[in-house]
Amino acid sequence: MKILKIALLTFSLISIGNAQTDQEVLKTIYTQSLANGKSYDWLNYLSNQIGSRLSGSLGAEKAVAYTKEELEKLGLDKVWLQPVMVPRWVRGAKEFAFIESALGKTTNVNICALGGSVATPALGIKANVVEVKNFEELEKLGKENIEGKIVFYNRPMQPDLIQTFEAYGGCFNQRYQGAMEATKYGAIGVIVRSLNLRLDDLPHTGSMTYGDLPVEKRIPSAAISTNDSELLSAMLKLNKETKFYFKQSCKQLKDVQSYNVIGEITGSEFPNEYMIVGGHLDSWDLGDGSHDDGAGVVQSMDVLRLLKNSGIKPKRSIRVVLFMNEENGLRGGNKYAEEAKRKGENHVFALESDAGGFTPRGFSFDCTDASFEQVLSWQPLFKPYLIHYFEKGGSGADVGPLKTESNVLAGLRPDSQRYFDHHHASNDTFDAINKRELELGAATMTALVYLFDKYGVNPISTKKTIKN
Enzyme catalytic residues: 326
Question: What is the 3-state secondary structure of the chain?
Answer: CHHHHHHHHHHHHHHHHCCCCHHHHHHHHHHHHHHHCCHHHHHHHHHHHHCCCCCCCHHHHHHHHHHHHHHHHCCCCEEEEEEEEEEEEECCCCCEEEEEEECCEEEEECEEECECCCCCCCCCEEEEEEEECCHHHHHHHCHHHHCCCEEEECCCCCCCCCCHHHHHHCCHHHHHCHHHHHHCCCCCEEEEECCCCCCCCCCCCCECCCCCCCHHHCCCEEEECHHHHHHHHHHHHHCCCCEEEEECCCEEEEEEEEEEEEEEECCCCEEEEEEEEEEECCCCCCCCCHHHHHHHHHHHHHHHHHHHHCCCCCCEEEEEEEECCCCCCCHHHHHHHHHHHHHCCEEEEEEECCCCCCCEEEEEEECCHHHHHHHHHCHHHHHHHCCCEEEECCCCCCCHHHCCCCCEEEEEEECCCCHHHHCCCCCCCHHHCCHHHHHHHHHHHHHHHHHHHHHCCCCCCCCCCCCC
Distance, CA of 117 to CA of 20 (rounded, Å): 57
- Cβ(277)–Cβ(196) under 8 Å? no
Distance, CA of 70 to CA of 301 (rounded, Å): 9
